[in-house]
Amino acid sequence: MLKTVIFLLIILILGLGFYFLVFKEKETQPQLLEKPMIEETKLETSKEIAEKISIITVYDNYQVDPRLKTGWGFSCLVEADSRGLQRGLTRILFDTGADSSTLLANMEKLEINPKDIDIVVLSHIHGDHVGGLNGFLEKNRTVKLYIPASFPVSYDNKTGEVIRIGQPTKIFENIWSTGQMNTRVKEQSLVIDTKKGLVVITGCAHPGVVNIVKKAKEIFPNQDIYLVLGGFHLFGASDSELKEIINDFKKLGVQKVAPCHCSGDRTRELFKEEYHENFIDNGVGRIINI
């Protein structure tokens, strides 16, 4: 009788142990899976709210920040914060100005580390836009380099990855090249799709700044133009020509303008008269947050 009781107790203990080991463990498994599911939900939400764009003019012949050097040329840094897309902060340097000493000195004053830049995009072959490249590459050889397809073959070995652009091309999430626009001076511009609308960044606008804006609208036909920034290549243009271009901007729905570099003083004056508070006095040191 005693042996039977002991035997039954052993069976009971083994049974309870098996129950807690198998069945209770299964009950806890859904709780262990909840954490990744919650993180995924947060990720979906952040896609809608995390995207931010900052544009910093780091080389220009117009001055905003008196600490910085000026020079005939253009360069700006685009910072795209896409943490919601698990990409983090991506930095794109658009053009490199005429010389690396001015470019790098201004970047240092602005606390921009050349090694942190992921991509360099060159608008066209003129020296006031590519002159700072070699000196910059001495600080950072790992960047991706996007150039118009017409660039000399000598550019193919500038970095480990050189991409030649012919047609409109996606460079980064919501950031596109217009593609090489076919004029005497072949040139590409940047188009950024933001929550406020499209931001168009031009180097020198040799294909015509209105044509570039129209190209941006072709790439994103359902988007409004929030801002056009950069060199408009209009120095020396007559008032009647400038007013016609301003009228075209209005027809295209351009909300804000930030002309600099080769745009010309008179161009800036007339755009400011028309756009008032939506005119941005652009130059080296200007930071635009979108």
Residue 87 pLDDT > 70: no
pLDDT of residue 65: 98
Residues 59, 37, single domain; the answer is no
For strand 197-202 and strand 256-260, is the pairing parallel, antiparallel, or unpaired? unpaired
pTM of the predicted model, to two decimals?
0.82
Q: Please report the beta strands in the chain, taking only residues with DSSP state E, as ranges in sequence order.
A: 52-59, 75-81, 89-94, 119-121, 144-148, 161-165, 169-172, 175-177, 190-194, 197-202, 225-231, 256-260, 287-289
Residues 77, 214, single domain; the answer is yes
Residues 107, 136, single domain; the answer is yes
CB 166 within 8 A of CB 179: yes
pLDDT of residue 181: 97
With both helix axes pointing from N to C terminus, report the angle between 265-275 and 239-251 in degrees, rounded to the nearest 10: 40
**Both structure tokens of 70:** 């000026």
pLDDT of residue 35: 28
CB 203 within 8 A of CB 187: yes
CB 187 within 8 A of CB 180: yes
Tens digits of per-residue pLDDT, 160-191? 999 999 999 999 989 999 999 988 999 999 99
DSSP β-bridge partners for residue 28? none
Residues 77, 198, single domain; the answer is yes
Residue 256 pLDDT > 60: yes
Residues 137, 56, single domain; the answer is yes
From 14, 34, 49, give the residue that closes a domain.
49
CB 162 within 8 A of CB 133: no
Mean pLDDT score, 133-140:
98
Residues 9, 84, single domain; the answer is no
Residues 116, 43, single domain; the answer is no
Residues 164, 107, single domain; the answer is yes
For residue 28, give its domain range: 1-49
Residues 251, 153, single domain; the answer is yes
Mean pLDDT score, 100-109:
98
Residues 7, 81, single domain; the answer is no
Residues 85, 13, single domain; the answer is no
Measured between alpha carbons, how far is residue 141 from residues 89, 117, 136 in Å?
Answer: 19, 10, 8
Mean pLDDT score, 225-250:
97
CB 283 within 8 A of CB 62: yes
What CATH number corresponds to the domain at position 258? 3.60.15.10
Domain count, the chain: 2
Residue 142 pLDDT > 60: yes
pLDDT of residue 15: 53
Q: How far apart are CA 93 and CA 117, in angstroms?
A: 7
Residues 19, 137, single domain; the answer is no
* Choice between 202 and 8, residue whose per-residue pLDDT is larger: 202
